Amino acid sequence: MRLLLTISFFCFCLFNTKAQTIEPRHTFNLELGLPNGMTNKPFKNIMQGLVNVAPYYQFAFKNHLIIGAGLMYSYYTINEFKVPKKVYGGMHTGGAFVKVGWEKFHTERFATDFSVKIGYTQSYFDTDMNKVFGQNPYVAEAGYIEPTMGLILTADELTSFRFFIGYGLQGYAFQPYMIGLQTLGGYETSEFGKINGSLIAGFGFTYYFKPKN
């Protein structure tokens, strides 16, 4: 319901603005979202996403091509009701990425963004069980890719806000031993084969370093 209301709000703003295009150049962006595990079933059930943050710099060309670079951080906690033995802790993920995409202002206030973030991440599984076995934190390193779509609404000549949806994929598969479990937790071995994927939805803020033309 919240997603539908948000999209409806942006559509309302789209059809109630002047048809004057804007061409930004240098921008600072900050995205704050809620990640939800999707592809790997054990990861989806056991790990609960709490936050995903991504600050980055972006440059837009006149042909609407955009490039950028930034950092990302996410945190997942362990759902204690989905593990055979109580495990407390979570997963911290930090990384760096470059962004390539297409962004266009369709009116004076409304724009769309279609892009992909490509980078590298390190995930730290910090749990009480890992401490018991002397492997805290367990570290998983992997490549990262996140296709993203954004709906952008300007607030004034220097700032704008956006609603975005992304699908982040990390190049490793979640395994029970990463959080300190010594069993498969009731899952089949085949269910751990898929790489970690997360649907990320949230809001972003953009600051334009130069006044828009």
Domain ranges of the chain: 2-208
Q: What are the angstrom distances between the C-alpha of 38 and each of 47, 74, 167, 170, 171? A: 11, 15, 9, 12, 14
Give the integer Cα–Cα distance in Å for 142 and 170.
Answer: 6
- What is the percent of the chain with per-residue pLDDT over 90, rounded to a whole number? 69
Report the candidate in 53, 93, 55, 1 with the shortest Cα–Cα distance to residue 200: 53
Average pLDDT over residues 31-47: 94
Between the two ends of the chain, the Cα-to-Cα distance in Å is 36
20: Cα separation from own chain's centroid: 31
- What is the percent of the chain with per-residue pLDDT over 70, rounded to a whole number? 88
Q: What are phi and psi of 19, to 5 degrees?
A: -90, 55
Is pLDDT of 3 > 90?
A: no
Is pLDDT of 129 > 80?
A: yes
Q: What tokens does 200 get?
A: 């990320």
Other residues' Cβ atoms within 10 Å of the Cβ of residue 170: 26
State yes or no: cis peptide before 137, omega within 30 of 0: yes
Are 54 and 82 a contacting pair, CB within 8 Å? Answer: no
Is pLDDT of 2 > 60?
A: no
CATH topology of domain 2-208: Porin (2.40.160)
**pTM across the whole model:** 0.85
Residue 183: band (very low, low, confident or very high) from pLDDT cuts 50, 70, 90: confident
Average pLDDT over residues 64-77: 97
19: Cα separation from own chain's centroid: 31
Q: What tokens does 141 get?
A: 């390193």
Report the pLDDT value the prediction gives residue 22, as an integer from 0 to 100.
Answer: 61
Give the integer Cα–Cα distance in Å for 116 and 167.
Answer: 9
Is pLDDT of 8 > 70?
A: no
Q: What are phi and psi of 182, to 5 degrees?
A: -105, 5
Average pLDDT over residues 28-37: 97
Report the pLDDT value the prediction gives residue 99, as an integer from 0 to 100.
Answer: 98
